[in-house]
Structure formats: C-alpha cells, structure tokens
Structure 1
C-alpha cells in the first residue's frame, strides 16, 4: 500500500504524551510549513496559527478545558484561528468597503481554510512518528481566549492541536459504513439500519471514553438548547451583526 494512504487510513487520536519529549525545532517548522501549504480558496489563506509555548497560557487553556490536560502535557500546542483581519487590512489599504458581517460566507471560507491547514499539520506530525489530537472544545471559551491571546477583531479561535510522542497505544476507530457517507452522482437514500449497524460496531469497539451509543450521543447533543457561544464570539469580533 502507498505509504501516504496507509498513514491516512491508520490515523487515530492520541491524548497521552511523554511530557519529557522535546519536539525538535526543525520538526515543528516542518509541520508548520506543511500546514501552510494546504489548499485555500482563491489562495486567500484565511487563517493564522498560534504556537502556544508559554506554560502559563497552556495551563489557562486546560483550566478552561479540564477534559483536555494534553494541551499542557503535549510537546507542542497549535491554535488555529479563522483570520479575516488580514483581508480587512487589505481592504483598508485599497480604500475598499469591508462588509464582512453581512454574510456567513466569509466565516465558512475562514473555517474551511483553517480546517485544511489543521489536517495538513496532523498528517505531517504523524509522518514524523508523532501523535496528535484535535481540540474543538476551545470554542466554548472563544471570547476569553481571544482576549488572552490578543486576537484582533475579525478573527476567531476555531480549534487546537496537541502534538507529542504517544505513551499509550490507540486503536484505529471505526468510521461510519461507506453507504452512509459516500455517494455517486447524487445523494442516495439509505436505511436507518446502516446507522444501527454502526452503533453495534462502536459497541464492539468499546471505547472507554464513550458513555452513550453513537446515535444517542448525537440525538442528545442536537436536542440540547444551543448555547450561542460561537454566535456571541463572532459578534464580539465584529464578524456577525
């Protein structure tokens, strides 16, 4: 099998890292360079990456997200930020209007670009024999993080990435059956039994972190009243009216 495809098919998340492992500077630079080479709509590159090295800052992130202690214990922690401030500077330099908060489209562009850069960083790190885990829960404290890191308006923290040397081996987590995800030429309906099948697969996988079946977890998640924290953050950063 092609080595790149093998790496992609065996990707998994690691949450336990060797706290004494020091990531070589050249490896970190290689990860950042690879991340920045990700695809980007119109080559806009609507994101920024903040390398969090200060232990006090990382400790504060863990205090806000106690379920993710690896943010402090990993060898490197990267924060990916949707960045529409850069193009605001461009518009001002060209004397153009910048009605950034009148549509959700710019937010989608920045989120997509940042996600692509994140995935490049994940694969680059794993190609170096390292482990990674993506942290999406930082959005719950997006406004506090924006203030802590001095993020300018028209930016918003999206997700973090812990990188380090794993000390606990993890199994490759099964994904949804192909019939529920892959379609040819048009969206093809499928029976709910496909999802029930996945519930059984995940039951057999037996991940200790999971306290609910896959379907129940998301039924409960989307039944919960939205906190609107992301909406509040985007308004605070002048990205939504």
Structure 2
C-alpha cells in the first residue's frame, strides 16, 4: 500500500493533547485548503469552516456539545457548517428564488459536502502529525453554536473537529468486518447478522482489554441503546434550529 492509504487506515481519534504545543496558522490553512479542494455538489461549495481558538468561547462550545473537555484543551476547534447563505446571495444577485431550502435535498447536499470536506481535513491534519477528533455533539445544542458563531440564515453547524498535538494516541478501534460494508452488485442482508455477531465479540474483547476488564460491552448493545434513547438531545434540538435557520423540508 502507498503512504496515503497507510495514513488513512491508521486513523485514531485523539482526546489527549499536549498543552504546551500549538497548531500553527499555516497548519490550519493547509487543512482548510485540503477541505475546500474536496469534491462538492455542483461546485456550489456549500461548506464554511469556522476556526475557534479563544478560550472562553471554546469553553462555551464545549459545554454546548455535551461537556467535551477536549474542545477546551486542544488549541484549535473547527466548526464545519453546511452553508447556503452564499447561494442566497447568488439568487438575489440574479433575481431568482432559492427553492432548494424548501426541500430535504438541501440538508442531504450540505451534510454530504461537510462530510467530504471534514474527511479531507482529517487526512491533512494527520499527515502533519496532528491529532483530531470529530465532534457530532455540536448538534446537541446547535442554537448555542448559531448564537456564539453568529451564523446567518441558511447556515447550520453539522460537525466540529478538535485539532492539536497528541499527548497520547489510543489503540486503533476495530471496525466491522469488510464483508458487512463492502457489498458487491447488490445489498446482502444475510451477511449482516453474522458480521454483527463477529464484530460484537471483537469489540467486547477490545473494550475489556482497554478498560482492564471494567467494560466488556459490545457494539450492537451500544448502538441499540443510543438510537433508542441516547440521541434525545439531538432529536429535541436539531430540527427546530434547522428550521429557524431557514430550511423548511
């Protein structure tokens, strides 16, 4: 395998950062350039990335995201937003209607573009020896992000990315067997339960080793619980804020 593929497949999410080491302006700009060079729908470039370094603001955003301390501890926090505000300006300039925001397609386009951009930023960061962890918790209380970051209509925070110099790098977390996610010609429902059972055993052993036997939970039990009652803050807060930002799907 080549160096880039080795870098990608060696990914780990980092939550322990060296407080004595900063992330330079040039490093952040390299990440942003990589993110914005990524593919996007119709060349609409429906992504904006807000860099936050100010400690008080990071502390407020960390609290809004579910008290995730690494947002405060790392030197840089990037907030990735789907952004149709520029499309609104284009519509006004050419006397047309921004019909897209009346359809769920806007959220699919914007979220897809954010995901592609974030993935490119992650690769860029890790290629420079930096550690990162994505933060989906921005959608626990997205209105706080809207207010603190002064987001205009048609802009919504989808994910965050903590960036810093690693103090500790965790063991790599196992993934589902490839046969579950690499499907050929058509979807295969039969392979999914078998793959899940295999993965549950793998994750249970991984968690037990990582926690010195204190936690041997498996993947399916965590996912089942989270998608039953664990996402209540997201359910309660995301949709109202999306609609307040002008998306009426």
TM-score (norm 2): 0.91
- 1:167 aligns to what SS in structure 2? strand
1:169 counterpart residue number: 169
Separation (CA, whole Å) in 1 of partners of 2:45 and 2:131: 25
Separation (CA, whole Å) in 2 of partners of 1:179 and 1:132: 28
Pair 1:220-2:225 in alignment = yes
Q: Please report how far the alpha carbon of residue 71 of structure 1 lies from its aligned counterpart in structure 2 after TM superposition.
A: 0.8
Separation (CA, whole Å) in 2 of partners of 1:157 and 1:32: 16
Contact 2:19 2:74 in 1 (8 A): yes
Q: Please report how far the alpha carbon of residue 89 of structure 1 lies from its aligned counterpart in structure 2 after TM superposition.
A: 0.7
Root-mean-square deviation (CA, aligned residues, Å) is: 1.7
Contact 1:231 1:240 in 2 (8 A): no
- 2:190 aligns to what SS in structure 1? coil
Contact 1:82 1:110 in 2 (8 A): yes
Q: Please report how far the alpha carbon of residue 102 of structure 1 lies from its aligned counterpart in structure 2 after TM superposition.
A: 2.2
Separation (CA, whole Å) in 2 of partners of 1:59 and 1:17: 16
Separation (CA, whole Å) in 2 of partners of 1:239 and 1:211: 42
Contact 2:65 2:139 in 1 (8 A): no
- 1:112-151 alignment, distance < 5 Å: 112-151=112-151
Separation (CA, whole Å) in 2 of partners of 1:50 and 1:202: 35
1:201 counterpart residue number: 202
1:64 counterpart residue number: 64
Q: How many residues align?
A: 241
Separation (CA, whole Å) in 2 of partners of 1:12 and 1:235: 34
Which segments of structure 1 move beyond 6 Å, counting only runs of 4 or more? Answer: none
- 2:150 aligns to what SS in structure 1? coil
Pair 1:232-2:232 in alignment = no
Any stretches of 5+ residues in structure 1 without a counterpart? none
Q: Please report how far the alpha carbon of residue 163 of structure 1 lies from its aligned counterpart in structure 2 after TM superposition.
A: 0.8
User: Greater share of helix residues, 1 or 2?
Assistant: 2
1:42 counterpart residue number: 42
